[in-house]
Amino acid sequence: MDNANPEITAASSTAGISIAAVERDTGLGKDTLRVWERRYGFPQPLRDACGERLYPAEQVEHLRLIKRLIDQGQRPGKLLRKPLAALAEQLAGSPPTIGADDTADWVVALLKNRDVDRLRTEFAQRLARDGLERFVIETVPALNRRIGDGWMRGEIEIFEEHLYTELIQNQLRASIYALGSRGSRPHVLLTTVKDEEHLLGLLMVEALLAANGAWCISLGAQTPVTDIIGAVRCTTTDIVALSFSGAYPWRKARDTLLELRAALPETTGLWAGGAALTGRRRVIPGIRIIDNLHAIEPALADWHAMRRATQNSGHCTEL
Amino acid sequence: MDNANPEITAASSTAGISIAAVERDTGLGKDTLRVWERRYGFPQPLRDACGERLYPAEQVEHLRLIKRLIDQGQRPGKLLRKPLAALAEQLAGSPPTIGADDTADWVVALLKNRDVDRLRTEFAQRLARDGLERFVIETVPALNRRIGDGWMRGEIEIFEEHLYTELIQNQLRASIYALGSRGSRPHVLLTTVKDEEHLLGLLMVEALLAANGAWCISLGAQTPVTDIIGAVRCTTTDIVALSFSGAYPWRKARDTLLELRAALPETTGLWAGGAALTGRRRVIPGIRIIDNLHAIEPALADWHAMRRATQNSGHCTEL
DNA sequence: AATCTTATTTGTCCAAGACAAAGCAGTTGA
DNA sequence: TCAACTGCTTTGTCTTGGACAAATAAGATT
């Protein structure tokens, strides 16, 4: 008669779920949920026998919708005052196709068909046909745009985006691994800083660097600044390369870069790229902003030129 | 004279880190940290100009030690009243070097020498010599223990651990990619849930599964629960496999698993493993706990047996 | 058009109190 | 001997309302 596990009953009955569960499901913090309730009157959860919040499924759904719109850049204040219907409408209609590029539609079609094997094959074939450089500079960005657009329009599920990212990353990793350049200069240390988890951009850079003879060490994502400093101090790193996605606040990126610049030896190069930095013409002293993928090759060439110059002035008088 | 950027001063000084950062680093909840301070007088963080907690690095280290002992089954009340020295002794004493295995010392030596190329070669050679299965089941765990142990003893820098993880992951990815089993059953969907970012365990599982003929789709790390549900709903997934590292709170893992179990179709298997779950005697209904890597092969065998049985009862009477 | 101010929005933190869920210890009954 | 029930203690999470820093928008300035 009695159910031994209260959680199961709670989940199966229509009463609602706890605030911790809502945090898990929506990604909105407990504090945020409470303060919204106080300020805007939504959500308005039921209460269980001992006064704890119980969120009905429909409110959770509503919250999830709001979260999605916030991620698109909308302000919470506006969204929380609107009725559910207006939100749904807004999500459907908003972006009228930014990069109208239907040459990448095949990737969406294959994703919708869950044709993972075919996706892998397609990626591999295009890579082989166009070469790594063109694949990274042209194909992957086009696909990224198409996927991002599809997600905004609700055409693509989140997990499909996950899957796409995973497959592309694997393809890039395999290529980099196959290149296996050893010991050649420059030695580049790649990573993203704390709170920045997007690896794809970093992998694209790594692929281009490796294709041009640089020797890369990737520390993966979210390396704290102090650890980066520590890593450089005890390795033979020539250049530190960081990636900042569009989600990363520009000011924070700049501060981080300046801090790093101050802490690193002057001989160590510091390159930074990613959507958070491109488009800003602001030059940060001592830091090379990589505006786009085409900028990597010249940057490498510059490094080699500078190195030759330094060596010459050091060892010979002139050559 | 005045520093324009408060972040720089804060970060470069040894002041401490915020409560949110401690939660991330230790896996202990904000509320828990505050209530410990109130009840036991530890931790006792500094305060910044506006009264917010600032945890010095040594206290965070202390907390991490406590967390580790709690995960071994000790009671918080006892641990928090003991001085640091007693704890360290306890940890050192209880498992008298768990895997007293100095055969893994080479990895530490190479890491200290920053000999990345040699590390890659060693990994690749051992993998080729022992086979993927033995490499994943024996070698990698031994290395992990050695690294974790070295880190606890301050022998290894954090970035060296980062680097090690990255290199091993690449090796595993390359192997999985090379296997490329297509379409065969079961179809396993692998991922970690939100707030769980440790991928290595997941990759090890994926390698073993792939080596035994399963067809894996990895969604990478940090997939929200609802997205997992969505992914299963529209794919031909037979089994969902999740990994929870030791830093992940056990209670949260259990709740997540129960929620998933309730939401997934009964025919879909749900496997879970990782340090957060092993060692717990508690059985969660409907969920297969993978206590260790050896448990994967039998689990796969069971799945095949069950499938045969179901098919037989469905199509024929007996065989 | 890019930067610097100022105003508003918005998320996170704090405090102490409360209490349920989990664990422990001792008792009872099969 | 082991399992189940009891009461007792420990322990983590939830509650409230206030406060304020960080993020963003809007306006001013070069």
* CA distance to A131, A138, A169, A180, B70, per residue, from A175 (Å): 10, 16, 10, 9, 43
* pLDDT reading at B93 higher than 60: no
Instruction: Say if residue B117 is in the same domain as residue B28.
Output: no
Confirm or reject contact between A154 and chain B (CB < 8 A): no
What CATH number should be reported for the domain holding residue A72? 1.10.1660.10
**pLDDT average, residue stretch B6-10:** 36
* pLDDT reading at A129 higher than 90: yes
- A52 strand D contact, CB < 7 Å: yes
Which residue intervals of A180-249 are DSSP H helices?
Answer: 200-211, 225-233
| A198-234 b/e (C-beta count within 10 Å ≥ 16 → b) | bbbbbbbbbbbbbbbebbbbbbbbbbbbbbbbbbbee
Among the partner residues A158, A197, A217, nearest to B163 by beta-carbon distance: A217
| Phi–psi pair at A218, nearest 5 degrees | -105, 130
Residue A93 burial (CB count, 10 A): 9
Q: Which residue has the higher pLDDT, B195 or A115?
A: A115
Instruction: Say if residue B112 is in the same domain as residue B144.
Output: yes
- A32 strand C contact, CB < 7 Å: yes
To the nearest whole number, what is the mean pLDDT of chain A?
82
Amino acid at position B309, single letter? A
Q: Among B177, B201, B227, which residue terminates a domain?
A: B177
Tell me if A122 is assigned to some domain.
Answer: yes
User: What whole-number distance in Å separates Cα of residue B141 and Cα of residue A55?
Assistant: 42
Tell me if A114 is assigned to some domain.
Answer: yes
At A194 the pLDDT is 63
At A101 the pLDDT is 60
Q: Which residue has the higher pLDDT, B88 or A63?
A: A63
User: What whole-number distance in Å separates Cα of residue A161 and Cα of residue B220?
Assistant: 11
Instruction: Say if residue A26 is in the same domain as residue A87.
Output: yes
| Phi–psi pair at B261, nearest 5 degrees | -55, -40
To the nearest whole number, what is the mean pLDDT of chain B?
82
Q: Which nucleotide is nearest to A78 (CA to C1')?
A: C9
**In chain A, which residues from 77 to 96 place their CB closer than 7 Å to nucleic acid strand C?**
77-78
Query: What 3 state SS string does A165-185 have?
Result: HHHHHHHHHHHHHHHCCCCCC
Query: How do the residues of chain A divide into helix, strand and coil, expressed in percent and rounded to 5?
Result: 60, 10, 35
Cβ pair A286, A267 in contact under 8 A: no
Nucleotides of D under 7 A from a protein CB: 10-25
Provide the CA A50 to C1' C18 distance, Å, integer: 10
- Interface with chain A: mutation pick from B8, B30, B159, B248, highest number of A CBs within 10 Å: B159
User: What whole-number distance in Å separates Cα of residue A191 and Cα of residue B180?
Assistant: 28
User: What whole-number distance in Å separates Cα of residue B7 and Cα of residue A281?
Assistant: 23
At B287 the pLDDT is 83
Q: Which residue has the higher pLDDT, B65 or B280?
A: B65
* B163 interaction partners in chain A (CB closer than 8 Å): 217, 219, 231
* CA distance to A71, A122, A128, B208, per residue, from B179 (Å): 37, 18, 19, 11
Supply A249's token pair.
């606040």
The CA distance from A274 to the nearest CA of chain B, in Å, is: 21
Tell me if A1 is assigned to some domain.
Answer: no
Tell me if A160 is assigned to some domain.
Answer: yes
How does pLDDT run across B129-158, given as a tens digit for each residue? 999 999 999 999 999 988 877 876 678 877
* B9 interaction partners in chain A (CB closer than 8 Å): none
CA-nearest of A147, A123, A82, A307 to A214 is: A307
Q: Which nucleotide is nearest to B21 (CA to C1')?
A: C12
User: What whole-number distance in Å separates Cα of residue A78 and Cα of residue A76?
Assistant: 5
Tell me if B1 is assigned to some domain.
Answer: no
Instruction: Say if residue A74 is in the same domain as residue A107.
Output: no
Q: Among A68, A93, A118, which residue terminates a domain?
A: A93
CA-nearest of B112, B176, B164 to B139 is: B164
Confirm or reject contact between B194 and chain A (CB < 8 A): yes
Q: Indicate left, alpha or beta for A183 from its phi (over 0: left) and psi (-120 to 50: alpha).
A: left
Tell me if B40 is assigned to some domain.
Answer: yes
Check residue A17 and report its DSSP letter: B
At B194 the pLDDT is 65
- B75 strand C contact, CB < 7 Å: yes
Provide the CA A260 to C1' C3 distance, Å, integer: 24
First to last CA, chain A: 92
Q: Indicate left, alpha or beta for A3 from its phi (over 0: left) and psi (-120 to 50: alpha).
A: beta
Which of A286-290, B10-14, B27-31 has the least mean pLDDT?
B10-14
Among the partner residues B7, B162, B262, nearest to A223 by beta-carbon distance: B162
Query: How do the residues of chain B divide into helix, strand and coil, expressed in percent and rounded to 5?
Result: 60, 10, 35
Q: Among B177, B206, B237, which residue terminates a domain?
A: B177
- Interface with chain B: mutation pick from A24, A26, A240, A254, highest number of B CBs within 10 Å: A24
User: What whole-number distance in Å separates Cα of residue B209 and Cα of residue B215?
Assistant: 8
* CA distance to A177, A188, B32, B192, B269, per residue, from A183 (Å): 14, 11, 48, 35, 46
What radius of gyration do chain B's Cα atoms show? 22
At A134 the pLDDT is 95
Confirm or reject contact between B6 and chain A (CB < 8 A): no
Instruction: Say if residue B197 is in the same domain as residue B107.
Output: no
Which of A168-172, A208-212, B49-53, B272-276 has the least mean pLDDT?
B272-276
Instruction: Say if residue A147 is in the same domain as residue A261.
Output: no
Instruction: Say if residue B150 is in the same domain as residue B125.
Output: yes
Instruction: Say if residue A121 is in the same domain as residue A207.
Output: no
Number of domains in chain A: 3
How does pLDDT run across B189-222, given as a tens digit for each residue? 998 876 666 789 999 999 999 999 999 998 887 7
- A50 strand C contact, CB < 7 Å: yes
* B255 interaction partners in chain A (CB closer than 8 Å): 7, 20-21, 24
Instruction: Say if residue B163 is in the same domain as residue B199.
Output: no
Cβ pair B188, B209 in contact under 8 A: yes
> Burial of A70 by CB count in 10 Å (0-12 exposed, 13-18 middle, 19+ buried)?
middle
The CA distance from B86 to the nearest CA of chain A, in Å, is: 29
* B177 interaction partners in chain A (CB closer than 8 Å): 170, 173-174
At B33 the pLDDT is 96
Tell me if A85 is assigned to some domain.
Answer: yes
The four Cα atoms A81, A83, A88, A91 give a dihedral, to 10 degrees, of: -20
Instruction: Say if residue B35 is in the same domain as residue B134.
Output: no
| Pairing of the two strands B288-290 and B187-191 | unpaired
At A72 the pLDDT is 76
Please name the residue whose C-alpha is nearest to the C1' of nucleotide D25.
A75
**In chain A, which residues from 260 to 319 place their CB closer than 7 Å to nucleic acid strand C?**
280-282
User: What whole-number distance in Å separates Cα of residue B14 and Cα of residue A248?
Assistant: 25
- A20 strand D contact, CB < 7 Å: yes
Provide the CA A279 to C1' C1 distance, Å, integer: 12
Among the partner residues A25, A235, A262, nearest to B114 by beta-carbon distance: A235
Q: Which nucleotide is nearest to A54 (CA to C1')?
A: D14
The CA distance from A318 to the nearest CA of chain B, in Å, is: 34
| Phi–psi pair at B92, nearest 5 degrees | -65, -40
User: What whole-number distance in Å separates Cα of residue A78 and Cα of residue B272?
Assistant: 40
Instruction: Say if residue B299 is in the same domain as residue B191.
Output: yes
Instruction: Say if residue A112 is in the same domain as residue A142.
Output: yes
Yes or no, beta carbons of B11 and A225 under 8 Å apart: yes
Confirm or reject contact between A227 and chain B (CB < 8 A): yes
**pLDDT average, residue stretch A73-93:** 83
* A177 interaction partners in chain B (CB closer than 8 Å): 170, 173-174
Q: Which nucleotide is nearest to B40 (CA to C1')?
A: D11
What residues form DSSP beta bridges with A190? A218, A241
Tell me if A281 is assigned to some domain.
Answer: yes
- Search chain A and give the residue with CA nearest B260: A11
What CATH number should be reported for the domain holding residue B308? 3.40.50.280
Which residues form the domain of B107?
Answer: 102-177
Cβ pair A119, A167 in contact under 8 A: yes
**In chain B, which residues from 251 to 290 place their CB closer than 7 Å to nucleic acid strand D?**
251-252
> Burial of A95 by CB count in 10 Å (0-12 exposed, 13-18 middle, 19+ buried)?
exposed
Supply B302's token pair.
């069971």
Amino acid at position A181, single letter? S
How does pLDDT run across A264-293, given as a tens digit for each residue? 998 999 998 887 776 555 567 788 888 889
Yes or no, beta carbons of A20 and B235 under 8 Å apart: no
Please name the residue that has the structure tokens 């990353």: A169
What CATH number should be reported for the domain holding residue B156? 1.10.1240
